[in-house]
Chain A
Amino acid sequence: MGPMQQSRIGSEFAMRPKVIFKFRLYIAGDAPNSAQALANLTALCRAHFADRHEIEIVDVFREPKRALTDGIFMTPTLVKLAPSPVQMIVGTLSQTQIVLHALRLESVAP
């Protein structure tokens, strides 16, 4: 496994059991759209799931086998792993409403 960035922002401060939003973002090196997606995702999480999310970042250029085994051909691709169902969205994630809708997060996002 290559380097994997994991951020657990604020989850250890949780006072009561709450839903953790797990995301995995596939990026392609330093491609501008990948960087943009990462920025957009971070901002979105900060705004909506401030202390209850995890983001795993996979760089397909560093881990090409992951792209192959996970079937990720378009980058950037965001996968919402939890809560179920697993959802996927491709692109820079620039339109927040579309992203929330696609990930079925409209109801849970404040």
Chain B
Amino acid sequence: MKPVQSPLMKVSTKAQTGIAGFDEITGGGLPHGRTTLLVGGPGSGKTVLALQILVHGAWECKEPGIFVAFEENSKRIVANAESFGWKLAELQRKKLFFMDIQPMPDLVQSGDFDFGGMLAALEAKSKETKARRIVFDALDVILTLLPDEAARRREIYRLHEWLLARELTGLITLKADEGYINAMSQSPFGFMHFIVDCTVLLSNSVILGVSQRNMRVQKYRGSSFDEDELPFVIGKNGFEVAAVHTPSRVDAEVTSERISSGVERLDTMLGGGYYRGASVLITGFSGTAKTTLSGAFADAACQRGERTLFVSFDSDGSEVIRNLASVGIRLDRYVKSGCLRMISARTITGSAETFLVRIKTLAKEHRARCLVIDPVSTWSKAGNALTARSVAERLIDWSKAGGTTLVCTSLLDEMSSQSEGSSSLQISKIADTWIHLNYLLQAGERNRGLSIIKSRGTAHSNQVRELILSDSGVTLTDTYTAGGEVLMGALRWQKERADRVANEVNEVAAKLKRVRLDAEEAELEVRVKSLQTELLAKQVEKELLIHTTESRKGEISQGLTRMEELRGADATKPDRK
């Protein structure tokens, strides 16, 4: 692991702990060469944390360590820590040493005493081993043996002075319950808080039956630190603190590569598919085909040969495979080939933190490039309401940092929220793409509607599409919009058929009308012709008439002249030319 360096902090002043999250909240680790107090109730993880800091120092920082065990026998401590994979047996040869200082139960004391022997023994041991880090686990066990408060103060002072003089990074753990932590300065060892440079509190509470572990750095001299109480888990590799702002978040690589969602039309709607490394949220009520949609994604990923992890909280992995096979998504072959790993997480109980850590571990083990979590809303179940959101956030941060494409589904509670997507986790806000599935209840039918509520950095269709599941797969269809209403399912089909019939009728009617018009036109043409003929006849008749009239006039005038001539009439009649 690389040292986490805050630009303001010199590295030498911090003793790196190697604990994910802890180095971030303390700006690099424990105060180097100083003493830190670690307080927590029974079973809060003090010993594990302390041991892990020594292990990290020994393996990674060239700082051998001594573990002084006051309560638990060192053999038991080593045995208990076996599962973390710290290779303690190997470490114990040269870099990590245990000192058992468990007071015998039958110890008899008469009068005052001190820990001169212990300091002398530590002196010898630390010289011999060149130790730089020392843990005093459960110092309270021997402090309580001292006869009075003054003696306790004296011994704590001596121990502290001894550590400071040798510039050893000390970590003292103390058992204490909640009440103690709240009334720290009044407690028997309260005075320790004033002399140490750093105080870390661990608490372990049970909320609605779910164990929640929290850590808080209460004081840190000469350094800035995250003052909030942060959840932590003791996972497969030891401690992990849920620091939200991990540096990796900033450096997350952004890619514009698109990968298929497994549904062709959805890819089109999204302008090419999901972005690689994006986080996709699919919300919807129970039965809206959320699992199917995420299954389609897993199928597409495996087809591309990308290792995929499918975490199912609802049902068994084999059940999911069977159910998906019924809609033409055949995942069993990829499980066989090892490309796909199905995890049934129904049996995992515990806090949201636990889920996150397990999923991370599993994803790392599988080297998954695509991750499906179905549904992520399980996390917000009883007892996890407070932490689930930050867990979901960190899940997204984490997957982004690793370039893993994440598809989560989230079950909406039909009773609590009809408004789409008011998921209790509110991860819709931080997810990159948010697809909402809904039922449209019309005419005695439920049909599935799909809409893209948001998709960052992507032009996406704003239309609701109907999601159709068949044994050949998942398809999307345009919905039928009529009169401002969206129709789906049988209604859409009916409407479409009705439209087809109406179209045919219209066509026939149009044809008929054309024929009729043709006939009328022809008729009119005939009439026009006959009228034209008639017109011609009239014209001829008219000409003829004119002609006859004129010739008759001529005849008459000629006749008159003739008559006059014949009669010898007077030529001076004024009215005649």
A residues near B, CB below 8 A? 26-29, 31, 33-34, 36-37, 40, 60-61, 63-65, 67-68, 71-77, 88-95, 98-99, 102
With A and B bound together, what is the CA distance between A36 and B121 in angstroms? 22
Name 14 interchain pairs, CB-CB below 8 A, sorted by A: A27-B116, A37-B111, A60-B120, A67-B120, A68-B120, A71-B121, A74-B103, A74-B116, A88-B107, A89-B108, A90-B113, A94-B111, A98-B108, A102-B108
Q: List B109-128 residues whose CB lies under 8 Å from chain A.
A: 109-121, 123-125
> Interface on chain A toward B: helix, strand, loop, or mixed SS?
mixed
Question: A74-B118, A77-B117, A88-B107 in contact; A64/B112 too (CB < 8 A)?
Answer: no
| B491 at the binding interface (Cβ < 8 Å) | no
Q: Across the two chains, which residue of chain B brings its CB closest to A65? A: B124
Question: A29-B116, A60-B116, A61-B116 in contact; A72/B121 too (CB < 8 A)?
Answer: yes
Q: Across the two chains, which residue of chain A brings its CB closest to B68? A: A73
| Nearest CB in chain A: distance from B271 CB, A | 71
Cross-chain contact B120 with A33 (CB below 8 angstroms): no
With A and B bound together, what is the CA distance between A22 and B114 in angstroms? 23
Residues of B within 8 A of A36 (CB): 111-112
| B101 at the binding interface (Cβ < 8 Å) | yes
With A and B bound together, what is the CA distance between A94 and B142 in angstroms? 21
| Nearest CB in chain A: distance from B130 CB, A | 15
Residues of B within 8 A of A68 (CB): 99, 120-121, 124-125
Known pairs A67-B117, A88-B104, A98-B110 / 19 extra A-B pairs, C-beta < 8 Å: A28-B119, A29-B116, A33-B112, A40-B111, A60-B121, A61-B120, A64-B121, A68-B120, A72-B117, A73-B101, A73-B121, A74-B103, A74-B116, A74-B118, A74-B142, A75-B113, A75-B117, A75-B120, A91-B110
Cross-chain contact B109 with A89 (CB below 8 angstroms): yes
Cross-chain contact A94 with B117 (CB below 8 angstroms): no
A-B pairs, 4 with minimum CB distance: A28-B116, A92-B111, A60-B120, A64-B124
| Nearest CB in chain A: distance from B152 CB, A | 13
With A and B bound together, what is the CA distance between A33 and B103 in angstroms? 19
Cross-chain contact B120 with A90 (CB below 8 angstroms): no
Task: Report how many residues on chain B are interfacial, defined by Cβ distance under 8 Å.
Answer: 25
Cross-chain contact A64 with B107 (CB below 8 angstroms): no
Residues of A within 8 A of B120 (CB): 28, 60-61, 63-64, 67-68, 75
Q: Indicate the member of A40, A61, A64, A74 with the most B CB atoms within 10 Å.
A: A74
Q: Indicate the member of A71, A72, A91, A98 with the most B CB atoms within 10 Å.
A: A91
| Nearest CB in chain B: distance from A50 CB, A | 21
Question: A88-B107, A88-B108, A102-B108 in contact; A74/B121 too (CB < 8 A)?
Answer: no
| Nearest CB in chain B: distance from A35 CB, A | 11
With A and B bound together, what is the CA distance between A101 and B118 in angstroms? 26
With A and B bound together, what is the CA distance between A26 and B108 in angstroms? 15
Contact among A64, A75, A94 with B110 in the assembled complex (CB-CB below 8 Å): A94
Q: Across the two chains, which residue of chain B brings its CB closest to A87? A: B108
Contact among A65, A75, A98 with B114 in the assembled complex (CB-CB below 8 Å): A75
Residues of B within 8 A of A89 (CB): 108-110
Residues of B within 8 A of A99 (CB): 110
Residues of B within 8 A of A61 (CB): 116, 120
Residues of B within 8 A of A91 (CB): 109-113
Question: A91-B111, A92-B113, A94-B110 in contact; A67/B124 too (CB < 8 A)?
Answer: yes
Cross-chain contact A34 with B116 (CB below 8 angstroms): yes
| Nearest CB in chain A: distance from B136 CB, A | 12
Cross-chain contact B116 with A90 (CB below 8 angstroms): no
With A and B bound together, what is the CA distance between A76 and B120 in angstroms? 12
| Nearest CB in chain A: distance from B173 CB, A | 17
With A and B bound together, what is the CA distance between A75 and B108 in angstroms? 13
With A and B bound together, what is the CA distance between A89 and B104 in angstroms? 11
Residues of A within 8 A of B121 (CB): 60, 64, 67-68, 71-73
Residues of A within 8 A of B114 (CB): 28, 31, 33, 74-75
Residues of B within 8 A of A28 (CB): 114, 116-117, 119-120
Residues of B within 8 A of A93 (CB): 110-111
Residues of A within 8 A of B104 (CB): 88
